[in-house]
Amino acid sequence: MTTHPALDDEQQQLDRSYALLGDDASDRPLVFGRVDDTGGSRYVGRIDVRDESGGAVVVAWHSPEAGAFYQACATEPTDVTLKRVVTVSGRQVIAVHDEIAGGAAGDVSTGRDHRPVVGKVVVAALEQFRTGALAEATATLRPEQFDIIRRPAQGVLVIQGGPGTGKTVTALHRAAWLAANDDAVRAAGLLVVVPTPTLRNYVADVLPRLGADAVTTDIASLYDGPARRRGHDTRPEAARVKGSAVMAMVLRRLVESAGEPGSPEELLRHLYADPALLEELADDLLKAGQRDVLYREPAASAHNEPWTVDDLVLLDELAHLLGRATPHYGHAVVDEAQNLSPMQARAIARRCRDVTLAGDLDCSTGPGKHDDWSELTAYFGSEAREATLSLGYRVPRPVVELSRRQLPDGGTLDLARSLRDGLGIPLVRRVDPGDEAAVALSAGEAAAGTGFKVGVVVAAARYDETLRYCQAAGVKVGDGRDGDLAQPVTLLPADLANGLEFDAIALIEPAEIGDGTELGRRLLYVAMTRCTQSLAIFHAAPLPAGMEHLERPAPPPREPEVEHRPRPARTEDLFDLFKLLRDDDRMLVEVLIRRLVRDSLERDD
């Protein structure tokens, strides 16, 4: 095993930094790089560390002195002579990669023509298994990400890019950057908004690790009144109407017409329960069919109402109309912003007009799709600046290619150049009707047994049934709808897959997710693009549009007593699955296994 000659020097430097920090040191990695240029040599890390005479020993990643580390890259070294990424575990330096050495490209990945030139350390960072939480990537931010991070806080910035291009990573680093460098933002506070509690769990601990204080919330929790989310709109049309801009006018009229307004909760449930009142207030704004979908029998009390996300946003608007104070922030970062409804955009704009919206219009899985970012940014009162990321960090190339067949004309954004090969072409397996969940979960458990973090995705309508199956069959899965991402295998409804990431995705019955509608195809696109390594598709029904070419003849009927039961992952399970493969697929799997073994041996070298 070869050792970088600088490893000991960097260890000494790290020891010195820890000694200077004394009791203030935490267990988080302190240093992650070094840059040498005409300005001298400096270490880049999580926080500033000064020596006894005030000289900089480590500069924080968000300080101006660290800029050269991020702006230089192998293809454009600028005046940097050394860009070194230092990987630390605990307090030990375990690896050193020189992306630029002697002012030229150093330790970079140049192995394949189609692969963009990046530091090997980026590729190594990507090879790490997922943990169920968003990785920081501070050490390996690319120049195009860094450029976006530092743009001024004022106005509206849209960060767009295909799945896995680092929009969330860039947006959260931008939040931390602004908190460190913009006095007005720091004084007024930062707001980070994500669509669901599941996604909030996924990103929540990144900002504190980046040294930023922020209020991180999901859309429904923006409203701070007594109502809590207890239900969801089963009819997309209901969510669409509740989220539409005309509801602002309907609610204004509701408040004006109420003698004794009472609480937002009482006003809204009264409106839902009284079609005559709704007609009187909204005859010219909503068609009869649109008004009908809002009708709801009142629950025994406001507390028991099955409040949905969109109801809570309407309650927030009502609270504002009733004169309740709304908190204000210096800057808001909104992730998965393509799913914002007009009413949700208003709720955020009430709190802050300077915003960063991260998202991808092709991944819209909300009730309404925006054709253009300006449909949303208009609510913030200024024209949007758009920045596009085009390097794919997550999705393996073969999965990118298959998934884009779900989008009309292959999507609105150029195909992201993916840094990953993953485990090759997606596996498609036809199973007997009724066996889909058993086979997919069994494969998921087998993949989890190799250390993969696995997401098993089903149509929302099949979620409860599949969860019950897992409970009955003793298959341990995290309940993704409840935000439990800590288990090796997570069960997830397709409508909550946005923003998440797993090593392997097992997709059950794609035709139920991509149900022929435009929304269904986007849901399927999002579900397929959550994996970093492998995608496996299990189906009994015919495959949906965009996948028909993968269709294989149904297997001959099997003896009725054959029963699939998921068992704990064992090597025999893998062999059983292996035996089910067609000959040419079996060869492919063999090649992949050989490649994995070879790569791991090379790594060990």
Annotation: binding site for ATP? 161-168
Count Cβ atoms within 10 A of the Cβ of residue 261 and give its class: 0-12 exposed, 13-18 middle, 19 or more buried: middle
Three-state DSSP class for residue 119: strand
Among 511, 490, 501, residue whose Cα is nearest residue 436? 511
Residue 360 touches ligand ATP, criterion: CB under 6 A? yes
Residue 140 touches ligand ATP, criterion: CB under 6 A? yes
* Cα of 391 vs its chain's centroid, Å: 16
Residue 397 touches ligand ATP, criterion: CB under 6 A? no
Residue 411 touches ligand ATP, criterion: CB under 6 A? no
Question: Contacts with ligand ATP: how many residues (CB under 6 A)?
Answer: 23
Residue 501 touches ligand ATP, criterion: CB under 6 A? yes
Among 419, 418, 322, 412, residue whose Cα is nearest residue 369? 412
CA 64, CA 198: separation in Å to the nearest integer?
Answer: 35
Identify the residue among 13, 17, 87, 165 touching ligand ATP (CB under 6 A): 165
Among 193, 145, 149, residue whose Cα is nearest residue 165? 145
Residue 135 touches ligand ATP, criterion: CB under 6 A? yes
- Pairing type for strands 156-161 and 427-430 reads unpaired
Site for ligand ATP in 46-65 (CB under 6 A): none
Three-state DSSP class for residue 358: strand
CA 604, CA 19: separation in Å to the nearest integer?
Answer: 32
Residue 167 touches ligand ATP, criterion: CB under 6 A? yes
Identify the residue among 97, 394, 521, 539 touching ligand ATP (CB under 6 A): 394
Residue 86 touches ligand ATP, criterion: CB under 6 A? no
CB atoms within 10 A of CB 543: 19
State the SS3 of 546-588: CCHHHCCCCCCCCCCCCCCCCCCCCHHHHHHHHHHCCHHHHHH
Site for ligand ATP in 169-208 (CB under 6 A): 169
Identify the residue among 47, 108, 141, 459 touching ligand ATP (CB under 6 A): 141
Nearer to ligand ATP by Cβ, of 34 and 394: the residue is: 394
Q: How far is the CB of 486 from ligand ATP (least distance, A)?
A: 17
- Pairing type for strands 49-50 and 56-60 reads antiparallel
347-to-232, 329, 595 alpha-carbon distances in Å: 19, 13, 51
Which residue matches tokens 């995290």? Answer: 478
Residue 393 touches ligand ATP, criterion: CB under 6 A? yes
Stretch that binds ligand ATP, among 9-17, 122-130, 190-198, 596-604 (CB under 6 A): 122-130
Residue 268 touches ligand ATP, criterion: CB under 6 A? no
Stretch that binds ligand ATP, among 37-45, 53-61, 118-126, 341-349 (CB under 6 A): 118-126
Q: Rounded to 5 degrees, what are φ and ψ at 118?
A: -140, 165
If you ran DSSP here, which 8-state letter would residue 102 be given? T
Nearer to ligand ATP by Cβ, of 126 and 254: the residue is: 126
Find residue 455's DSSP bridge partners: 490, 505
Residue 142 touches ligand ATP, criterion: CB under 6 A? yes
Residue 166 touches ligand ATP, criterion: CB under 6 A? yes
Number of H helices, E strands in the chain: 23, 23
Stretch that binds ligand ATP, among 100-108, 109-117, 165-173, 322-330 (CB under 6 A): 165-173
Nearer to ligand ATP by Cβ, of 165 and 344: the residue is: 165
- The answer to whether the beta carbons of residues 141 and 66 sit under 8 Å apart is no
Contact track, ligand ATP, 316-355, x by CB under 6 A? ----------------------------------------
Q: Could you tell me which residues are annotated as the binding site?
A: 161-168
Contact track, ligand ATP, 557-596, x by CB under 6 A? ----------------------------------------
Stretch that binds ligand ATP, among 133-141, 241-249, 476-484, 515-523 (CB under 6 A): 133-141
Nearer to ligand ATP by Cβ, of 354 and 501: the residue is: 501
Four-point Cα dihedral 162, 168, 171, 172, nearest 10 = -170
CA 86, CA 10: separation in Å to the nearest integer?
Answer: 8
Four-point Cα dihedral 303, 307, 309, 311, nearest 10 = -100
* Cα of 490 vs its chain's centroid, Å: 15
Identify the residue among 13, 168, 442, 533 touching ligand ATP (CB under 6 A): 168
Nearer to ligand ATP by Cβ, of 73 and 282: the residue is: 73
CA 588, CA 517: separation in Å to the nearest integer?
Answer: 34
Identify the residue among 14, 49, 137, 437 touching ligand ATP (CB under 6 A): 137
Stretch that binds ligand ATP, among 43-51, 146-154, 166-174, 231-239 (CB under 6 A): 166-174
Contact track, ligand ATP, 503-542, x by CB under 6 A? --------------------------x-------------
The binding site for ligand ATP (CB under 6 A) comprises 122, 125-126, 135, 137, 140-142, 145, 161, 163-169, 360, 393-394, 499, 501, 529
